Amino acid sequence: MRVFGRLGLALLCGVLSVVTPVAAAEADSDVRVLFDVSGSMQENDPERLGASALALLAALVPGGSRAGIWLFGETVEEALPVAEVNARWRDRALALRPRLVAYQQYTDIEAAVRAAGESAANGPRQLVLLTDGMVDLPAAADKRRRDADSRRRLLTELAPRLAEQGVAIHTIAFAGEADLALAERLAQSSGGLVARVESADGLLQAFLDILERLFPADQLPLEDGRFVVDEGVQGLSALLLRDAGEALVIVDPQGSRHRAEAAGDDLTWLAESHFDLVRIRDPLPGEWRIEGTLDPASRLHLDADPVLRHAPLPATLYTGFPLTLEAWLARDGERLSPEAAATWRLRARLQGIEGEALAATELHPEGARFVGRLPGAELAGNARLVLEARRDGVRRQRVQAVNVLPAIEAEAQDDGVELVARHPGLDHANTRLEAFLLGEALAVEAGAPGRWRIEPPPIDGEAAVPLLLSAEVDWQGETLRLDLPRLLLNREARLALDAAEGPEALRGEALEGEVAEAPAPPVSRTTAERIAAELGDLPADLTRGWRRYHDDPRLWGAVVALLFLLVIFVAMRGARRRARRRPREEPHV
């Protein structure tokens, strides 16, 4: 079942009645969403998930907040001016979906960010930029220079100026032809979030992560399609991501089955192409389950008492750097007393997009609040920070998407290696770097603020070798030890040497993208020549085999087994021979 137009709007407004009060209380800025309508989106978004993202926007932006929509390609259009979000605003937003496929040839990202960021506002603004390309201006004389100048102005002039005015830029970039470095720098410089989308299937998940960061809400954990509703839950809104054509069924604690086409009196169900949005009024306490294949990024937002709250969380974390956390529980807008808070248990975890664990910690009570320190993650990438409170079967969650960036990045250049601090608090005074190449320490020289240089010795042209990097950082009264991602030098070489096993165990392997040399064509030989060659190679083959396997216990086990079989064979053969020698008696009448 798919709902469009005014019927879809009515269902959206009904669903939002649960989520909006929680989110709107924390929304203090307007949201401006920029949709890329350049021609390449037709290839990178073949299922038109941009329209589903627009429907998510219309569904999740709380009533009473302010929002607007821009479309950009070769030109920039303020398709829906910034205004208070209400039923009319949602109706107009849904009506824009056909406009997302009116593709244009070029991509003027600078003009789009300028138009949306500098539009009139009375406070902080949140820009959400969805693009699959790079700065690509209309063809003219010296096009390459014009594109580069536009990109430079965007990064060094426009984005810093907007950041000073309280504008955060969140970016969603398709991994195909998108300028990922541009997307990351725009987000990092403004305190925004960047989401790298590998395929169209990840678009809704990335869009949801950003919207949820802008308008956080309490959640119930959804595990293997099951969730438990407690007595304090007054309403529930389920955002269920799924594949197109997947029909979901919700089963309540009494066993009643609810579907999109027959939701029931207490359920309002909006079915879109790739997600379902279901509002459940006064849900029955107990275990519910959802039948069907769900995306792990599905959410269960709730209206309940008590609620979980936390101190502001950064959009960017850095590898190796711990994060201090503070959270508390509130009822009717007031924090729980220290005695009531002590009955709860709070835990935080950092997990990857696929749910893999990256770091975790307990939060300990200090009066009415809980505090803890999350260890620094070892791997960079998109992640989610999950805060969870538990008590006697009652669970509350807050989920915030974050970017984990390397604290220091290394880049191989023609004349050496340059290291750049991505963490804004690192400098020459508090950071000490070490570099090793095949076990030999290399000198690290300080350069410009937040930059270092290494000049490695010449490397054999036949092999790429890893440069091992580490850092010690004096940070907030302690010393952090950071193991930086290793960097391959001489990457154009055909072989890569792995230093992880030491010089005596260096291994050679073809590098990705290298074309192996074509083998020489086989030489035609007669059968007698092949037999003679194999007999000639037999001693060398036996010698190599003995050297390789003489200390392998499997070899000696096989030898013992063969000897045992040989003994049995000889015994049976002897028994048969004795039986044949026995004299044969003639029969008598």
Lowest mean pLDDT among 11-20, 171-180, 182-191: 11-20
* pLDDT at site 585: 44
Q: Copy the structure tokens of residue 587.
A: 């029969």
* pLDDT at site 201: 67
Burial string for 92-103 (b: 16+ CB within 10 Å, else e) reads bbbbbbebbeee
* pLDDT at site 562: 72
CATH architecture of the domain with residue range 307-405: Sandwich (2.60)
State the average pLDDT for the chain.
Answer: 81
Please state the rounded mean pLDDT for residues 66-91: 94
* pLDDT at site 444: 95
For 107, phi then psi, to 5°, come to -135, 105
Q: Is the pLDDT of residue 493 over 90?
A: no
* pLDDT at site 500: 38
Stated as kind and residue range, the H or E segment containing 240 is strand 233-241
Q: Where in the chain is the domain with CATH 2.60.120.380?
A: 226-304
Q: Is the pLDDT of residue 543 over 60?
A: no
pLDDT classification of 556: cutoffs 50, 70, 90: low
Give 265-311 pLDDT, tens digit per residue: 788 898 888 889 999 999 999 999 999 999 888 999 999 989 999 99
Residues 6+ positions from 400 with CB-CB distance below 8 Å: 212, 213, 216, 313, 384, 385
Residue 80: CB atoms within 10 A of its CB come to 20
Q: Is the pLDDT of residue 338 over 70?
A: yes
Lowest mean pLDDT among 50-54, 263-267, 421-425, 553-557: 553-557
* pLDDT at site 576: 63
Q: CA 344, 350, 354: angle at the middle one, nearest 5?
A: 120
Lowest mean pLDDT among 168-182, 428-442, 511-525: 511-525
Please state the rounded mean pLDDT for residues 397-407: 94
Q: Where in the chain is the domain with CATH 3.40.50.410?
A: 27-214
Please state the rounded mean pLDDT for residues 31-46: 86
Please state the rounded mean pLDDT for residues 408-417: 88
Residues 6+ positions from 121 with CB-CB distance below 8 Å: 30, 82
* pLDDT at site 499: 43
Q: Cα separations (Å) of 213 from 267, 373, 403?
A: 26, 21, 12
* pLDDT at site 575: 63
Please state the rounded mean pLDDT for residues 90-98: 93
Please state the rounded mean pLDDT for residues 401-421: 91
* pLDDT at site 279: 92
Q: Is the pLDDT of residue 340 over 90?
A: yes
Residue 361 carries which side chain, given as an amino acid letter?
T
Give 115-158 pLDDT, tens digit per residue: 999 887 767 899 999 988 788 888 777 888 999 999 999 999 99
Q: Copy the structure tokens of residue 437.
A: 């190449």
Contact present, 298 and 39 (Cβ < 8 Å) = no
Q: Is the pLDDT of residue 502 over 50?
A: no
Q: What is the DSSP string of 364-425?
A: EEETTEEEEEEPPPSS-EEEEEEEEEEETTEEEEEEEEEEEE-SEEEEEETTEEEEEE-STT
pLDDT classification of 452: cutoffs 50, 70, 90: very high
Q: Is the pLDDT of residue 4 over 50?
A: no
CA gap 3, 51 in Å, rounded: 13
pLDDT classification of 13: cutoffs 50, 70, 90: very low
CA gap 54, 211 in Å, rounded: 11
CA gap 432, 407 in Å, rounded: 13
Fold of 408-510: Immunoglobulin-like (2.60.40)
- Range 27-214 classified under CATH 3.40.50.300: no
Give 294-306 pLDDT, tens digit per residue: 988 899 999 998 9
If you average pLDDT over each of 36-45, 117-126, 144-153, 531-540, which comes out highest?
Answer: 144-153
CA gap 114, 67 in Å, rounded: 16
Please state the rounded mean pLDDT for residues 521-534: 45
pLDDT classification of 397: cutoffs 50, 70, 90: very high
CA gap 350, 363 in Å, rounded: 14
Strand positions, DSSP E, 305-367 = 307-310, 316-318, 323-331, 334-335, 345-352, 357-366
* pLDDT at site 342: 93
Please state the rounded mean pLDDT for residues 164-177: 86
* pLDDT at site 1: 35
Please state the rounded mean pLDDT for residues 564-568: 73
Please state the rounded mean pLDDT for residues 19-30: 48
Residue 129 carries which side chain, given as an amino acid letter?
L
Which comes out higher in pLDDT, residue 320 or 16?
Answer: 320
* pLDDT at site 551: 43
* pLDDT at site 490: 72
Please state the rounded mean pLDDT for residues 501-519: 32
pLDDT classification of 330: cutoffs 50, 70, 90: very high
Can you name the residues that pair with 83 across neighbouring β-strands? 67
CATH top class, domain 226-304: mainly beta
